[in-house]
Amino acid sequence: MPFLVVAVSLNFKNIINNMVSGALLLSSDQFEIGDLIETNEIQGIVKEINLNYTKIQEFDGVEIVIPNSNIYGSTTVKFTHDKFKIYEPLTREEFRKKRHYKEYVKLINKILSVKIKTTTYVKELEVLGSLDPNVLDEMLMNVFKVYEAIFGIIPDYAVDTTRFGRVRIRLYVKSSNPTIILNYLDSFLRDILFTLYPNRIYRDWEEYQKSLLEPPFKSEGDEK
């Protein structure tokens, strides 16, 4: 009986901790439904936040349910952020000609109130240092331009050298819809790999195809 009381007390304590943490998450601006985040070593889009748990959909489509007590107070990376929408200001001649001061004041207030959510997902890659930086830029831009139509914003990158003759590329994949990043990130990285190392990949693929046609072992009659 005492063990049962202890178990019920611990379970009730966990429920209270989750509910308190959930209330704090819901009342704070830490993240919202639809944001791309990383928490507890899990990356994905927030699908649900309630008083007990937070549901996150990973890149492979798997949905993870995390107790709110594990999230609140832990390190959380938020890839989705608010971005103010930029309107073209009126020229001095237009402002004097139309004389619509009140409308212009309303427009200024709209500029300050309207926000657009943008997700910037950062992915690091390491490539061989033998690649020419100028050629590397041209190769990456060819892929970036293709995926600009998909993501809605052209991707960007930064280069940093590492030890052992390698180069670290930090990719910045941007979109106003994080679900698009989830759906197309694998193909985006694949196309970059095929663009940077086409000869090696296709050569290894041809050798692999040949190995499938070869018999797994030779019989004694074949050796003769």
Q: Which of 1-15, 51-65, 82-96, 149-163 has the weakest average pLDDT? A: 1-15
Q: Which of 4-13, 23-32, 37-46, 56-65 has the weakest average pLDDT? A: 4-13
How many Å apart are CA 63 and CA 197, to the nearest integer?
Answer: 34
| Residues whose CB falls within 8 Å of the CB of residue 147, separated by 6 or more in sequence, listed in order | 154, 155, 184, 188, 191
pLDDT tens, position by position, 49-68: 888 888 999 988 889 998 88
Burial 90-120 (b: 16+ CB within 10 A, else e): eeeeeeeeeeeeeeeeeeeeeeeeeeeebbb
pLDDT tens, position by position, 151-181: 999 999 988 765 566 778 899 999 999 999 9
Start-to-end C-alpha separation, the chain: 79
The residues spanned by each domain of the chain are 2-78, 83-115, 120-205
Fold matches, 2-78 and 120-205: no
pLDDT tens, position by position, 107-133: 555 555 556 788 999 998 887 766 777
Would you say how long the chain is, in residues?
A: 224
- The predicted pLDDT at position 105 comes to 57
- Distances from the Cα of 58 to the Cα of 61, 95, 146, 161, 166, angstroms: 5, 50, 25, 30, 29
- The predicted pLDDT at position 90 comes to 54
Say which residue, 215 or 177, is predicted with more confidence. 177
Is CATH 3.30.70 the right assignment for the domain spanning 120-205? yes
Q: Which of 209, 136, 119, 132 is nearest to 172 (CA)?
A: 119
Strand order, beta sheet including 115-128 = 80-84, 115-128, 166-175, 156-161
CATH topology of domain 2-78: SH3 type barrels. (2.30.30)
Average pLDDT, the chain: 76
What is the average pLDDT across 196-202?
72
**Bridge partners of residue 77, in order along the sequence:** 38
